[in-house]
């Protein structure tokens, strides 16, 4: 059986030392996040995930969700009780606005907890996770009445929520949706259509589920400009807030998937279901992107989460399992074999896992801080800058974070040899669960296009220039430190590759947009490599300062320095290769006609 322990020490390091959120105590929300509170959220939240959620991960995978003939869905054994405990402890309310019953704390803390939840039980975490996206959309675009009706219950966790975008004929291209919304005399709409791949679409955790649904009004433009957003409760809510009639939305089936079996992935049939317009007519795509951006950061965290839990188990196995001898001679001559941790190739995989997970954790929590600053920083300029930075970084966190997170989960499974392929060890579940994160909330190819086709050029490239400046400043600062100078130089070189790639896009993509599309995924990966390098240099600087100040826990800071060096040596070299691939352009990629891909005839 795999196990999980929340990486509390590392999270505290990032929150308290690297991001130093205590220094932001003058900002709204941060005054709630005293050192004690931070400590308690990380400690207690971690314990909850370890003790309540992690033990249900394997059993949830084995049992899966069950749809009954009446369309109701039962979650795996234990999920309902775990959710009750989750709700009662208020874990879903951390960063939600106090106005609707939330605790108004920084997103930094909510993201930290989200990592723990998803490591402990990815499928479970999706139930409150999806509801979070629905809450974000209602907060941003809902009417006062809609907010009053739904948000207190949703934030309290009494009701959960979903996002309904995909239909059989359309995933990425939402202009193709056919679900219709017919205006009714009472101001509501009758929603009719079929939605697929609806995570947490039906279940037994809460008495109501608030669906946010994309549909088309009569006569709306036949494109993505004709999409509107509707709120459609599973059970209608009476004027006094009590629950009324069952709405005409039913679960037609649940999907058989590769993983995340503990989450019910539903086909939902809307058969004239009563819904209400959220925001303006035909502006549903903008509202949807509010959900999506929040959700994409959450998915990036899932990439980290599965890598982290897989890493922990691989470390434990590598210490325990004995095969062969160290290349430099027996490490434990008294035993018949050494622990496999002595073997360089096992180390390679573990160190790559460590370098990714700790770097990615720093990036996710840095990203959470930008979300906070985009709402709460003192000046409008600071808020706008933070918003632009997190907008730029969202596709990198989602795309690179889940690509590399999946790779780490695969490598950690590899550490187990044959046992990694056997279900009871649980490693193969981490791989199957991690796989979805590269696909949903916009495939990673879509993330790459969001980054390169939209975010790079926004506001004349202000955000990417700000990013280059930040990384450049960190390199400059670190170069004065003899230990960090070699790493700073390597990062500067990698940054130079990214800058050159950016320039290449500017010079070539106008003439042929396929050049942009052909290089977008490489660019996203390149930016991910540089970004984690930046995080590692920041962490290394903090570790150097702590050691110089004579901090206790010396081994922790020294491990940071070793891993920072490892990252610079083993991840950053990819930057040059990625640039060269990108600069190859799209000619060979686009040359074949459809028949050219056949090998059979």
Residue 430: CB minimum distance to a copy of itself, A: 11
Q: Both tokens of residue 319?
A: 């210490």
Counting contacts by CB under 8 A, is residue 63 touching a copy of itself?
no
Q: Which of residues 286-325 bind a copy of itself (CB under 8 A)?
A: 308, 311-312, 315, 319, 322-324
Counting contacts by CB under 8 A, is residue 185 touching a copy of itself?
no
**Going residue by residue from 192 to 211, which x/- string records binding to a copy of itself, judged by CB under 8 A?**
----xx--------------
Contact pick of 1, 503, 506, 577 for a copy of itself (by CB under 8 A): 577
Counting contacts by CB under 8 A, is residue 336 touching a copy of itself?
yes
Q: Is 441 a catalytic residue?
A: yes
Given the complex with a copy of itself, which of 334 and 598 has the nearer CB atom? 598
Counting contacts by CB under 8 A, is residue 137 touching a copy of itself?
no
Three-class secondary structure of residue 194 per DSSP: strand
Counting contacts by CB under 8 A, is residue 221 touching a copy of itself?
no
Counting contacts by CB under 8 A, is residue 489 touching a copy of itself?
no
- For residues 421 and 407, what is the distance between their CA atoms, to the nearest angstrom? 15
Residue 222: CB minimum distance to a copy of itself, A: 8
Counting contacts by CB under 8 A, is residue 350 touching a copy of itself?
yes
Given the complex with a copy of itself, which of 6 and 56 has the nearer CB atom? 6
Pairing of strands 208-215, 159-164: parallel
- Catalytic residue of the set 441, 474, 492, 497: 441
Q: Which of residues 428-457 bind a copy of itself (CB under 8 A)?
A: 428, 431-432, 435-436, 438-440, 443-445, 448-449
Given the complex with a copy of itself, which of 347 and 375 has the nearer CB atom? 347
Residue 555: CB minimum distance to a copy of itself, A: 6
| Total interface residues for a copy of itself by CB under 8 A | 110
For the chain, the distance separating the N- and C-terminal CA atoms, rounded to the nearest angstrom, is 48
Total residues belonging to the chain = 601
Residue 424: CB minimum distance to a copy of itself, A: 7
CB burial of residue 318 (10 Å; 0-12, 13-18, 19+): buried
DSSP at 420:
G
Q: Over the Cα atoms of the chain, what is R_g? A: 24
Contact pick of 239, 327, 334, 549 for a copy of itself (by CB under 8 A): 327
CA 225 to the chain's CA centroid: 27
Q: Which of residues 369-408 bind a copy of itself (CB under 8 A)?
A: 406
- For residues 299 and 163, what is the distance between their CA atoms, to the nearest angstrom? 14
Q: Which of residues 240-279 bind a copy of itself (CB under 8 A)?
A: 255-259
Q: Both tokens of residue 77?
A: 């054994």
Distances (CA, A) of 307 to 327, 354, 403, 406: 28, 9, 10, 7
Residue 232: CB minimum distance to a copy of itself, A: 21
Counting contacts by CB under 8 A, is residue 511 touching a copy of itself?
no
Q: Which of 391, 384, 215, 211 is nearest to 293 (CA)?
A: 391
Counting contacts by CB under 8 A, is residue 10 touching a copy of itself?
yes
**Contact, 91 vs 40, CB < 8 A?**
no
Given the complex with a copy of itself, which of 166 and 293 has the nearer CB atom? 166
Counting contacts by CB under 8 A, is residue 171 touching a copy of itself?
yes
Q: Which of 436, 358, 363 is nearest to 393 (CA)?
A: 363
Residue 404: CB minimum distance to a copy of itself, A: 13
Counting contacts by CB under 8 A, is residue 328 touching a copy of itself?
yes
CB burial of residue 115 (10 Å; 0-12, 13-18, 19+): buried
Three-class secondary structure of residue 74 per DSSP: strand
Residue 364: CB minimum distance to a copy of itself, A: 14
Q: Which residue has the tokens 């990252």?
A: 567
**Residues paired with residue 232 on neighbouring β-strands, in sequence order:** 211
Query: How many Cβ atoms from other residues are within 10 Å of residue 185's Cβ?
Result: 5
CA 304 to the chain's CA centroid: 8
Given the complex with a copy of itself, which of 257 and 479 has the nearer CB atom? 257
Residue 40: CB minimum distance to a copy of itself, A: 17
Q: Which residue has the tokens 């629950």?
A: 243
Q: Which of residues 512-531 bind a copy of itself (CB under 8 A)?
A: 512-514, 516-518, 520-521
Query: How many Cβ atoms from other residues are within 10 Å of residue 523's Cβ?
Result: 24
Q: Is 162 left (phi over 0), alpha (psi -120 to 50) or beta?
A: beta
Counting contacts by CB under 8 A, is residue 334 touching a copy of itself?
no
Stretch that binds a copy of itself, among 82-90, 92-100, 132-140, 163-171 (CB under 8 A): 163-171
Counting contacts by CB under 8 A, is residue 167 touching a copy of itself?
no
What sign has the CA pseudo-torsion 261, 267, 273, 278? positive
Given the complex with a copy of itself, which of 335 and 378 has the nearer CB atom? 335
- For residues 567 and 507, what is the distance between their CA atoms, to the nearest angstrom? 31
CA 98 to the chain's CA centroid: 24
- For residues 45 and 582, what is the distance between their CA atoms, to the nearest angstrom? 43
Stretch that binds a copy of itself, among 79-87, 89-97, 146-154, 510-518 (CB under 8 A): 510-518
Residues belonging to the active site: 441
């Amino acid at each position: 059986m795999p196990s999980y322990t929340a990486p509390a020490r590392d999270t505290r390091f990032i929150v308290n030392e690297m991001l130093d959120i205590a220094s932001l105590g003058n900002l709204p929300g941060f005054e709630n996040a005293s050192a004690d509170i931070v400590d308690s959220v990380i400690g207690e939240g971690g314990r909850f995930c370890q003790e309540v959620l992690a033990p249900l991960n394997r059993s949830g995978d084995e049992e899966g969700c069950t749809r009954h003939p009446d369309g109701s869905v039962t979650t795996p054994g234990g999920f309902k009780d775990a959710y009750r405990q989750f709700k009662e402890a208020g874990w879903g309310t951390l960063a939600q606005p106090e106005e609707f019953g939330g605790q108004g704390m920084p997103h930094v803390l909510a993201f930290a907890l989200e990592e723990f939840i998803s490591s402990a039980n990815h499928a479970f975490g999706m139930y409150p996770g999806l509801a979070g996206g629905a809450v974000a959309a209602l907060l941003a675009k809902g009417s006062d009445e809609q907010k009053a009706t739904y948000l207190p219950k949703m934030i309290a966790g009494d009701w959960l929520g979903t996002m309904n975008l995909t239909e059989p004929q359309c995933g990425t291209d939402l202009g193709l949706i056919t679900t219709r919304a017919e205006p009714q005399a009472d101001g509501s709409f009758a929603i009719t259509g079929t939605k697929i791949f609806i995570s947490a679409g039906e279940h037994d955790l809460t008495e109501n589920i608030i669906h946010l649904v994309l549909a088309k009004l009569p006569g709306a433009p036949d494109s993505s400009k004709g999409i509107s957003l509707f709120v459609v409760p599973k059970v209608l809510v009476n004027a006094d807030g009590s629950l009324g009639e069952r709405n005409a939305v039913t679960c037609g089936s649940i999907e058989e998937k590769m993983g995340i079996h503990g989450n019910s992935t539903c086909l939902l049939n809307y058969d004239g279901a009563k819904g209400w317009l959220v925001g303006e007519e035909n502006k549903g795509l903008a509202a949807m992107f509010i959900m999506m951006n929040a959700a994409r950061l959450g998915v990036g965290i899932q990439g980290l989460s599965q890598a982290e839990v897989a890493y922990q188990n691989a470390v434990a196995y590598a210490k325990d399992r004995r095969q062969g001898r160290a290349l430099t001679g027996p490490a434990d001559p008294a035993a018949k074999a050494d622990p496999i941790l002595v073997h360089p190739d096992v180390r390679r995989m573990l160190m790559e896992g460590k370098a990714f997970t700790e770097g990615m954790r720093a990036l996710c929590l840095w990203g959470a801080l930008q979300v906070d600053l985009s709402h709460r920083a003192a000046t409008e300029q600071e808020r706008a800058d933070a918003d632009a930075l997190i907008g730029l970084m969202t596709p990198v966190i989602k795309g690179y974070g889940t690509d590399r997170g999946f790779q780490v989960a695969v490598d950690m499974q590899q550490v187990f040899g044959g046992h990694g392929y056997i279900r009871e060890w649980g490693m193969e579940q981490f791989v199957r669960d991690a796989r979805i994160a590269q696909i949903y909330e916009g495939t990673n190819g879509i993330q790459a296009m969001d980054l390169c086709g939209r975010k790079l050029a926004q506001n004349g490239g202000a955000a990417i220039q700000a990013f280059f400046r930040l990384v450049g400043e960190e390199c400059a600062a670190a170069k004065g430190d003899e230990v960090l100078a070699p790493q700073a130089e390597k990062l500067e070189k990698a940054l130079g590759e990214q800058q050159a790639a950016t320039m290449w896009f500017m010079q070539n993509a106008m003439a042929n947009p396929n050049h942009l599309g052909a290089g977008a995924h490489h660019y996203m990966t390149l930016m991910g490599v540089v970004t984690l390098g930046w995080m590692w240099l920041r962490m290394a600087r903090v570790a150097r300062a702590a050691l110089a100040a004579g901090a206790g826990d010396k081994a922790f800071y020294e491990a940071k320095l070793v891993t920072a060096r490892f990252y610079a040596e083993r991840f950053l070299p990819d930057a040059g290769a990625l640039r060269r691939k990108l600069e190859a352009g799209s000619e060979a990629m686009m040359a074949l006609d459809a028949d050219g891909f056949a090998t059979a005839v």
